[in-house]
Structure 1
Amino acid sequence: MTAGEAVLVVAAGLGAGVLSSTVGVASLLSFPILVGLGLPPVVANVSNTLGLIPGGVGGVLGYRAEVREAGPVARAIVLVCALGAVAGAALLLGLPPGVFEAVVPFLILFTCALVGVQPRVAAWLRARHERRHGEQPAERRHMSPTTTAFATLTGVYGGYFGAGAGVMMVAVLGLGTDLELRVVNGLKTLALMVGNIVAGAIFVVVAHPRWDVVVLLAAGSLVGGYVGARIGRLLPDAVFRWAVVAAGVVAAVLLF
């Protein structure tokens, strides 16, 4: 690897870390760069997953107040995303590579729509509950069984394929809880970190990463993840919501 390529990998890690902690589409930047540098796709995927783990750690550190505020939801996210990532990695190893990719762009677009309309849907559900029961519904600070199931499926998707998993987690938690978006963003970053750690541990056993690339990506992503979290905490809800939607649409278009 030349000095210029090394700088490019560090910069890719930095940018991917920022994207991971803000809109959740880190691999859309870093993975194509690794492939463009000549790494085989499987090696690039494994190296990318491992290299972005420090970015997740930096992001969670930046969102540590929000993660603490989420309380039991944060603990549930760690558990379901770890279990989901194991199942997703198993599917990746056991299924033909083309089984899931055809529907991924449509799935991402659907979750983008959910993120965009979530405030109206939530307001409609609250009004419907009030009309039926004569009182406002209690604030949802825990995950229901339905929300837990969808969060687990998102974890499975993250372990299997991963592109747009952050957008999906924002949709699941935005619709399934009444947590503030800044807290949802912190939980999304936590989910991506857990998924990368679990999947990365499995991939180390079954594949051969380029450790020089992993180290360079990790250095950039650690800083980028923390910086991205500081940016994400300052974004107004509307700006964050539509940034997630825009990132998801870009991800879907690229995957098409």
Structure 2
Amino acid sequence: MEFLSSVFIFFAGLWAGTINSVVGSGTLVTFPVLIALGFAPVTASISNAMGLVAGSAAGAWGYRKELAGRRNQLLRLLPASLLGGITGAYLLLHLPEMVFHYAAPALIVVALLMVVFQPRLQRWVQNREENPEHAIRDKRHGILLVVLVYLAGVYGGYFVAAQGILLVGILGVFMAGTMQNANAMKNILVLGVNLVAAASYLLFAFDRISWPAVGLIAVSSLIGGLVGSKVGRRLSPPVLRGVIFILGTVALGFMIAKLVN
């Protein structure tokens, strides 16, 4: 791997690890960079997901205090998330690669829309927190919550991007607690999905893994995850969303160009 490419991947992983712990959608930083550097879409997705496991672990550790008293909720939701991750990884590995070539641009569009509308999503969550009498109680909608977490896991196992934003929206509405509690739970569930997906790739797609890219993203996202859990709330969300949108659009352009050619 060329030195300049390594530098790009390292800083992309650093940024992704930082924003994943507090915002989500860090894959829309690393995945476009890998695509722009010439990685095949499936190889880019697999290597990116494996590398970001370290950053997810760092973010989950940094938000551990917000999980206090939520053991029962975690034990109920984590299996659904893990099963979803297994399903998504299976689909990625067994569907024809051309399916991913066509699906990835569509999924990037969905992820970018989640990023663009994140402020509205956050206001929705905050309104639920500030008006508990209007909250949808998870006792009444427990099954729906588990199903939605499973579907988010499928999405994450197949295509990592914006899984965190999707989960924060689901948990913020259907799980009692604050936005920070939802974010902490999101970090654990995302970590579970990424671990399951990584294990599947090791067992069944070893030849598609770019280990230099995995190593660079793992080290840099680990640092970023620790930084993000400490100071990430001070970063400007509009700036982060703007850069993510630009990079995601670049990735979309590269992938469409490959399909056309």
TM-score class, shorter: 0.7 to 0.9
Deviation at 1:81, TM superposition (A): 1.2
1:223 aligned partner: 223
Tell me if the contact between 2:16 and 2:27 (Cα under 8 Å) persists in the aligned partners. yes
Q: Does residue 92 of structure 1 match 2:92?
A: yes
1:193 aligned partner: 191
Q: Deviations over 1:57-96 (max 9, x none)?
A: 1111111112334322223332111110011122223443
Tell me if the contact between 1:53 and 1:193 (Cα under 8 Å) persists in the aligned partners. yes
Q: How far apart in 2 are the matches of 1:125 and 1:248?
A: 34
1:116 aligned partner: 123
Q: Does residue 51 of structure 1 match 2:51?
A: yes
> TM-score w.r.t. structure 2 length?
0.78
Tell me if the contact between 2:152 and 2:163 (Cα under 8 Å) persists in the aligned partners. yes
Q: 1:204 aligns with which of 202, 227, 233?
A: 202
1:164 aligned partner: 162
2:81 aligned partner: 81
> TM-score w.r.t. structure 1 length?
0.79
- Code of the residue aligned with 2:142 in structure 1: it is S
- Code of the residue aligned with 1:214 in structure 2: it is V
Change (3 A) 1:61 1:103: closer
Count how many residue pairs are aligned between Structure 1 and Structure 2: 242
Deviation at 1:192, TM superposition (A): 1.6
Residues 1-256 of structure 1 mapped to structure 2, 5 A cutoff: 1-95=1-95, 96-97=99-100, 98=102, 102=106, 105-106=109-110, 109=113, 112=118, 113-120=120-127, 126-127=133-134, 144-207=142-205, 208=207, 209-232=209-232, 234=233, 246=241, 250=245, 254=249
Runs of 4 or more, structure 1, over 6 Å off, are 122-125
Deviation at 1:211, TM superposition (A): 1.2
Query: Structure 1 stretch 108-117 or stretch 190-199: which is displaced more?
Result: 108-117
Tell me if the contact between 2:25 and 2:111 (Cα under 8 Å) persists in the aligned partners. no
Tell me if the contact between 2:23 and 2:165 (Cα under 8 Å) persists in the aligned partners. yes
Q: How far apart in 2 are the matches of 1:252 and 1:176?
A: 31
Change (3 A) 1:6 1:93: closer
Query: Structure 1 stretch 145-154 or stretch 104-113: which is displaced more?
Result: 104-113
User: What is the SS of the residue equivalent to 1:90?
Assistant: helix
Change (3 A) 1:142 1:37: farther
1:134 aligned partner: none
Q: How far apart in 1 are the matches of 2:187 and 2:163?
A: 10
- Code of the residue aligned with 2:197 in structure 1: it is A
Query: Structure 1 stretch 102-111 or stretch 25-34: which is displaced more?
Result: 102-111
Unaligned runs of 5+ in 2: 254-261
Q: Deviations over 1:121-174 (max 9, x none)?
A: 6767825x9xxxxxxx9x769972211111111111111222211111001000
Tell me if the contact between 1:83 and 1:152 (Cα under 8 Å) persists in the aligned partners. yes
What is the RMSD of the two structures over their aligned residues, measured on CA atoms?
Answer: 3.4
Q: How far apart in 2 are the matches of 1:180 and 1:243?
A: 24
Q: How far apart in 1 are the matches of 2:111 and 2:53?
A: 25
